[in-house]
Amino acid sequence: MKTICLGKTGISVPQNAFGALPIQRVSEEEAVSLLRKAYEGGMRFFDTARAYSDSEVKVGKAFEGMRDKVYISSKTMATTREKFEEDLETTLTNLKTDYIDIYQLHCAARCYTEEDDLYQCLVEAKKQGRIRHIGITAHKIGVAEDIVKSGLYETLQFPFSYLASERDIALVQSCKEADMGFIAMKGLSGGLLTNSEACMAFMSQYDVLPIWGIQRQSELDEWLGFFENEVTITKKIKNVIEKDRNELLGEFCRGCGYCMPCTVDITINQCARMSQMIRRAPSQNWLTEHWQNEMMKIDSCVNCYMCKTRCPYELDIPNLLRKNLKDYKEILAGKKV
């Protein structure tokens, strides 16, 4: 397994890390078991956030008494100094620790600089020893490029998968040149990519640390398997990647959920990508009465466009929903998938 050094932080870990967003959906007992098995299997970097409900609490319980054996990153969506301090103290308490390895501004809408209170909060917290390194996450490529150019952050967390554009790949190279760690989120593009071997092989070509979202033992077993069976790009994997890129590139929903909640209760982050999901997973999973009811809610869309204003990828969500609904109705009427 390749070792990745996250730029000037000096943090060196296997290129196979744990994204702890999904563990908010399972019991504490299940989450703690997954986290400990991940550590036992070779993972050393664990990413969580204040926004992931009880994820931090579960990470804290899992690694209590062994804090020096793992690296933990967390995040705040604070926009004021007061909220930053509240979030940081809550996170430290939840994680049962007196420091966080990397503390990140979460889903930044812009590059915060020395003139901004939020950045000064990070600097002060680092001087106090409550955080060891300053990081930031972004979804918009222009914002990410500004962050790298600023030279103010030690790590950048950004979506990166084998659906990446040339501009995304150039961003990875810019981080390397700036001695800035690149943490790759959404390595499965919100569940659209299902071939873990291809996903891991793609990542192995770059100096990035992928954080795989994990909530089941079967998922963890797949990722831990790569510690024993290292993968690289082969002709077969290249064909898988090329096929997926041909099918998926363009306007597609990554399922991040920042568009939610919907004013008329549409499950946007699933319904807006139904056409892809129904073709990439057992179709019957998405043709249940539950999902038929959810999809039909799209007919009640009032075009408030709140979802579009929140979307990090600036998708035209109302129209995307309607395209997916049209396709879904045709499938229900007998169209082959």
The structural domains of the chain, ordered by start, are: 3-233 (3.20.20.100), 268-332 (no CATH)
- 253 vs 163: CA distance, rounded Å: 12
- Give the residue-averaged pLDDT of 314-330: 94
Phi and psi for 134 in degrees, rounded to 5?
-100, 125
Q: In this structure, which amino acid lies at residue 194?
A: T
3-class state of residue 18 by DSSP: strand
So what's the pLDDT on residue 314?
86
pLDDT per position as a tens digit, 212-258? 999 999 999 999 999 999 899 999 999 999 999 988 887 788 888 88
CB 143, CB 170: distance < 8 Å: no
Estimate the crossing angle of helix 81-94 against helix 117-128, to 10 degrees: 40
Q: Which pLDDT score is estimated for 256?
A: 85
Model confidence at 272: pLDDT above 90? yes
Output the six-digit token pair for 38: 């991940």
Which long-range contacts does 142-151 make (Cβ < 8 Å, 24+ apart)? 143/108, 143/109, 143/110, 143/111, 144/171, 145/171, 145/174, 146/110, 146/111, 147/108, 147/111, 148/174, 148/175, 148/178, 148/180, 149/111, 150/111, 150/113, 151/178
Cα–Cα distance measured from residue 272 to residue 266, given in angstroms and rounded to the nearest whole number: 10
Q: Mean pLDDT of all residues in the chain?
A: 95
What is residue 249's three-state secondary structure?
coil
More confident residue, 171 or 254: 171
Reference 254, options 301, 200, 320; nearest CA is 320
Chain-centre distance of CA 207, in angstroms?
A: 17
When pLDDT is averaged across residues 50-56 and rounded to a whole number, the result is: 96
* Residue 192 pLDDT > 90: no
The alpha carbon of 301 is separated from its chain's Cα centroid by a whole number of angstroms, namely 28
pLDDT tens sequence across 286-312: 999 999 999 999 999 999 999 999 998
